[in-house]
């Protein structure tokens, strides 16, 4: 861009005006919060001085009055603190604006009249003083969608008043750093592609970054969808699924949205804790509020009190490719299935009659409710938790006694009711597997696995241990939910699930019942499924299971992460049932190297890692099949260079050289990836092919496969 032309002068003047306004507002906010801080400290000091005389006598006759006085005194402090925190958020936003105020401009000519509006788009909006004039439009605003969805020409956007039509005259992008204009250009489709290719060619960052400058049309449609109660995105590796999920969360919190959500009303279900840390910066950069992220293990902890095997430990054990791991995986497949949900539901229906000590309820020699009547009451309304129905039953008995005799029920009768109302989830779950004949009877009409005897034997043995197996923990979590109901997450209105393909029908049944009134966004990739085989029909199962009013399935087949060479190589490990397109960014071909022993393999690793570090790569991922395998490489490599061993409980930024099992690499990306155990011993099955696909598609620029001994026959290189 010629810096001497008129457009450059206009844009510099506009930037100067914007920076000046942001600076003014920042100074005002800083001064206001300095006063707020002083007032808070002064008020707290006054409260201490005025109430210290009464604090020592809180348990005396005047104690209640003293507490009331203290509470009333604290109200102004709480109000001032809320103002202070709000202003601090504004200060953070304004500092961001001073660095990069905006990244795009569109000139939009409205069809009704010849009015042309210049719209500058940034991460946050900025008004001119106390006026309604917007110097910067928030990227989430309706009109900003024109930038993401259209090339110059006819365009439209949906506003609260309806669809606004017009023409996009100019689509301009800026590179602004530290408040300084480096360059800008008017973007057509080819120029925008070139810019995106340039962005993708950069090295990765320690944490996931926002993509507001480069959101694609299909991504924007997903981010802004508010029509569907269930939105499923099937996106290939590198298609931006996770970024879309986070930007969608930020969009749903946009304050000008007619039905916007608060951060505490959105929950993100992430695959593991490391992933939570990796994405932790994105939403705070895009929105004034943050959202809650959890892993499924935390949901289980809210449902069951017993210690259980975590999902990561479960994955570690089933990836070992031995008879025990195979049976463990088959047990999970059965207990996570729709058929097993039916079995548990039948079991719950039988609990009152078969497993509860229910007797006729009598008072003063008269029968109030017979055992049969009680059981019938507990078996109706199957979606109501059993504990809730027991509460209703106790109320009904109390009302019946008082209605006839005008006296409250006696302690002995209340104790009788409490006795049969006691529910022990673990003991009940044990009863389901205690007797093979009973289990087969309750499973009548359901096709059981061919190895059901082995699964039942394994389950019965495992239930005698202190720690539940993961498959039993999930099943017992569902049983507990049906018995007691959900006790957490009652405020959640939107659930965003990443790596959705890895969950079983039982997981989704739990989620459906825990978040009865929530909408769902589910992001997944069938080709990246762990520990089970799935195809596209899986999404139909989810849709039926969650049973929301309006749903949609969006497919995203273009990968933006890997070079063409890496993606072409990675596609060798998957079938062609799901098309995978690349963004046509070129780089080095993947390489396979074999070493005769561990020492030689480590020497090769050191050489290749040092080359990558000299090339400026910030993150290098050494990915192996299991945590056990990572420990071998880590112990050998740590003596030669700094290296991070990533475990299931790691909560640090990924930087430098990191070693991890494949299941912890999901959702992450690295400048270079070295698969360090690509031998026939480790990778030989169809399930192993998917593991290799997952590992390979973590790489942005370079992919190297190494092994000790014979390379896996799954490789085609």
Which of these, 262, 266, 242, lies nearest to 253 by C-alpha position?
262
* Residues making up the chain, counted from first to last: 717
CA-to-CA distance for 124 and 114, rounded, in angstroms?
28
Contact call for residues 473 and 309 (beta carbons, < 8 A): yes
CA-to-CA distance for 595 and 399, rounded, in angstroms?
80
Relative to beta strand 591-595, strand 361-363 is unpaired
CA-to-CA distance for 337 and 504, rounded, in angstroms?
7
CA-to-CA distance for 59 and 371, rounded, in angstroms?
49
Relative to beta strand 292-294, strand 361-363 is unpaired
Tally of CB atoms within 10 A around 629: 18
Q: Is 630 marked as a binding-site residue?
A: no
- Answer left, alpha or beta for residue 393, where phi above 0 means left and psi between -120 and 50 means alpha: alpha
CA-to-CA distance for 660 and 229, rounded, in angstroms?
36
Contact call for residues 704 and 611 (beta carbons, < 8 A): no
Tally of CB atoms within 10 A around 515: 19
Contact call for residues 86 and 94 (beta carbons, < 8 A): no
Which of these, 451, 500, 447, 460, lies nearest to 340 by C-alpha position?
447
Cα 504 to Cα 13, 228, 607: the distances in Å are 57, 22, 42
Question: Across the strands, what pairs with 173?
Answer: 104, 185
SS3 label, residue 532: coil
DSSP-assigned letter for residue 710: S
CA 53 to chain centroid: 50
Which of these, 259, 249, 258, 244, lies nearest to 288 by C-alpha position?
249
- For 603, what's the count of Cα atoms within 13 Å in the CB-facing half-sphere? 7
Q: What are phi and psi of 100, to 5 degrees?
A: -130, 90
Which of these, 632, 651, 694, lies nearest to 207 by C-alpha position?
651
Q: Is 241 marked as a binding-site residue?
A: yes
CA-to-CA distance for 134 and 302, rounded, in angstroms?
46
The answer to whether the Cα torsion of 458, 464, 467, 471 is positive or negative is: positive
CA-to-CA distance for 122 and 135, rounded, in angstroms?
10
Q: Is 242 marked as a binding-site residue?
A: yes
Q: Which two tokens stand for residue 205?
A: 């960052």
- For 106, what's the count of Cα atoms within 13 Å in the CB-facing half-sphere? 28
Cα 239 to Cα 250, 616, 650: the distances in Å are 19, 25, 26
The answer to whether the Cα torsion of 701, 706, 711, 714 is positive or negative is: negative
CA-to-CA distance for 62 and 33, rounded, in angstroms?
37
Which of these, 461, 530, 521, lies nearest to 492 by C-alpha position?
521
CA-to-CA distance for 174 and 10, rounded, in angstroms?
13
Q: Is 235 marked as a binding-site residue?
A: yes
Q: Give the H or E element holding residue 326.
A: helix 323-335
Contact call for residues 560 and 700 (beta carbons, < 8 A): no
Q: 359-369 burial by CB neighbour count: b if 16+ within 10 A, else e?
A: eebebeeeebb
Contact call for residues 52 and 69 (beta carbons, < 8 A): no
Residue with the two structure tokens 């994405």: 279
Task: List residues forming the annotated binding site.
Answer: 235-242
Task: List residues forming the annotated binding site for ATP.
Answer: 235-242
């Amino acid at each position: 861009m010629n810096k001497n032309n008129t457009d450059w002068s206009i844009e510099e003047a506009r930037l100067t005006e914007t920076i000046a306004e942001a600076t003014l507002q920042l100074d005002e906010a800083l001064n206001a919060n300095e006063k707020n801080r002083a007032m808070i400290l002064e008020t707290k000091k006054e409260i201490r001085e005025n109430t210290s005389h009464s604090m020592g006598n809180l348990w005396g006759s005047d104690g209640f009055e003293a507490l009331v006085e203290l509470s009333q005194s604290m109200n102004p402090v709480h109000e001032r603190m809320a103002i202070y925190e709000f202003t601090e958020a504004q200060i953070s936003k304004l500092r961001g604006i001073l660095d990069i105020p905006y990244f795009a401009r569109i000139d939009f000519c409205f069809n009704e009249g010849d009015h042309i509006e210049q719209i500058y788009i940034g991460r946050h909006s900025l008004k001119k003083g106390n006026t309604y004039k917007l110097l910067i439009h928030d990227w989430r605003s309706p009109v900003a969608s024109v930038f993401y969805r259209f090339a110059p020409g006819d365009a439209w956007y949906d506003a609260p008043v309806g669809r606004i039509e017009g023409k996009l005259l100019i689509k301009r992008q800026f590179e602004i750093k530290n408040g300084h204009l480096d360059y800008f250009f008017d973007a057509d489709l080819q120029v925008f592609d070139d810019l995106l290719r340039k962005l993708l060619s950069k090295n990765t960052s320690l944490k996931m970054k926002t993509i507001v400058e480069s959101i694609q049309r299909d991504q924007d449609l997903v981010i802004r969808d508010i029509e569907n109660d269930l939105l499923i995105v099937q996106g290939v590796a590198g298609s931006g699924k996770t970024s879309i999920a986070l930007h969608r969360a930020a969009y749903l919190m946009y304050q000008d949205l007619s039905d916007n959500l608060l951060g505490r009303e959105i929950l993100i279900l992430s695959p593991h804790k490391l992933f939570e840390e990796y994405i932790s910066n994105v939403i705070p950069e895009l929105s004034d509020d943050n959202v809650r992220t959890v892993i499924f293990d935390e949901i289980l902890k809210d449902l069951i009190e017993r210690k259980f095997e975590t999902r990561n430990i479960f994955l570690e054990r089933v990836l070992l490719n031995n008879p025990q791991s195979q049976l463990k995986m088959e047990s999970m497949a059965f207990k996570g299935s729709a058929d097993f949900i039916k079995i548990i539901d039948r079991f719950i229906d039988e609990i009152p009659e078969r497993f509860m000590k229910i007797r006729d309820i009598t008072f003063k020699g008269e029968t109030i409710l017979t055992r049969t009547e009680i059981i019938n009451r507990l078996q109706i309304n199957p979606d109501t938790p059993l504990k809730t129905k027991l509460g209703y039953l106790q109320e009904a008995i109390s009302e019946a006694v008082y209605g006839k005799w005008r006296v409250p029920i006696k302690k002995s009768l209340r104790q009788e009711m409490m006795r049969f109302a006691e529910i022990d989830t673990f003991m009940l779950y044990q009863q389901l597997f205690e007797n093979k004949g009973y289990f087969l009877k309750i499973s009548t009409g359901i096709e059981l696995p061919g190895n059901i005897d082995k699964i039942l034997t394994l389950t019965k043995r495992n239930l005698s241990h202190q720690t539940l197996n993961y498959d039993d923990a999930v099943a017992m979590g569902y049983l507990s939910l049906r018995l007691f109901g959900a006790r957490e997450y009652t405020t959640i209105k939107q659930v965003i699930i990443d790596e959705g393909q890895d969950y079983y029908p039982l997981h989704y049944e739990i989620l459906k019942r825990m978040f009865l009134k929530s909408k769902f966004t589910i992001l997944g990739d069938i080709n990246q499924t762990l520990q089970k085989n799935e195809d596209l029909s899986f999404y139909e199962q989810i849709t039926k299971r969650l049973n929301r009013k309006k749903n949609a399935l969006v497919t995203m087949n273009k990968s933006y992460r890997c070079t063409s060479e890496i993606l072409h190589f990675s596609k060798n490990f998957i079938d062609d049932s799901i098309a995978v397109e690349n963004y046509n960014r070129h780089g080095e071909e993947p390489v396979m190297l074999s070493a005769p022993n561990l020492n030689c393999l480590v020497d090769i690793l050191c050489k290749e890692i040092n080359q990558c570090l000299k090339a400026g790569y910030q993150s290098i991922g050494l990915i192996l099949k299991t945590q056990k395998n990572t420990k071998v490489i880590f112990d050998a490599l740590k003596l030669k260079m700094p290296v991070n061993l990533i475990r299931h409980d790691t909560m640090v930024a990924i930087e430098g050289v990191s070693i991890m099992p494949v299941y912890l690499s999901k959702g992450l990306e690295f400048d270079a990836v070295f698969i360090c155990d690509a031998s026939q011993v480790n990778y030989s099955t169809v399930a192993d092919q998917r593991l290799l696909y997952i590992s390979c598609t973590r790489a942005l620029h370079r992919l190297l496969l190494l092994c000790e001994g014979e390379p896996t026959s799954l490789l085609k290189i």
